Amino acid sequence: DVCTWYLIHSALDTFLGVFINFILLRFLERAGSGRFSSFESGFYGHPPSVLLWLKQLFVWLIIVFISKIIIVFIVLIDQYTQANLETIGKLMLYPFHFSSKLEMVFVMLVFPFFLNVFVFWVQDGFLKKNFKQASASWITYASLESSVSTFHSSTL
């Protein structure tokens, strides 16, 4: 059933994909620390640099591409895995077995909406720079003084 497999791929891509993305991102951050100062996820320099942002975007796109390939291999690995995934998908769609239209609405609208909210919320949490825990070595007295004076002049 096409709806079942769409549901399965959406769920795998969301839950397993987010986990794989997190692991790959942290691995690359640790592997690149010291060598690639531009790869500190969510930090784009001071002042922010478009070039650093583009480098991080490129790395993120590679990470997402790799996770998609891993998920495809997991689904296609063997018949036993496919049968189990299909059974799980059918169980998830069982409440809608009486109406193919309701099943379609759930699979194409409701389920993806909640999955996307989850993905954006979780991935935003580990992609953005946590300035509370980060070292503030890039913040200088001069930059703070400049920011405060700019703020005061704009409010007067």
Give per-residue pLDDT as tens, 103-119: 999 999 999 999 999 99
> Do residues 46 and 143 touch, judged by C-beta distance below 8 A?
yes
> Mean pLDDT throughout 12-41?
81
User: Dihedral of the CA atoms 38, 45, 123, 12 (nearest 10)?
Assistant: -20
> Mean pLDDT throughout 137-145?
49
* Higher per-residue pLDDT: 94 or 128: 94
For 9-13, 19-23, 106-110, 148-152, which range has the lowest pLDDT when averaged over its residues? Answer: 148-152
pTM of the model: 0.73
CA separation, residue 2 to residues 6, 93, 104 (Å): 6, 12, 10
Task: Give the three-class secondary structure for 115.
Answer: helix
What pLDDT score was predicted for residue 106?
94
What pLDDT score was predicted for residue 137?
47
> Mean pLDDT throughout 127-143?
55
Is pLDDT of 139 > 80?
no
What pLDDT score was predicted for residue 136?
47
With a pLDDT cut of 90, the percent of the chain lying above it is: 44
Residue 67 makes CB contacts below 8 A (sequence gap 6+) with: 16, 17, 20, 21, 24
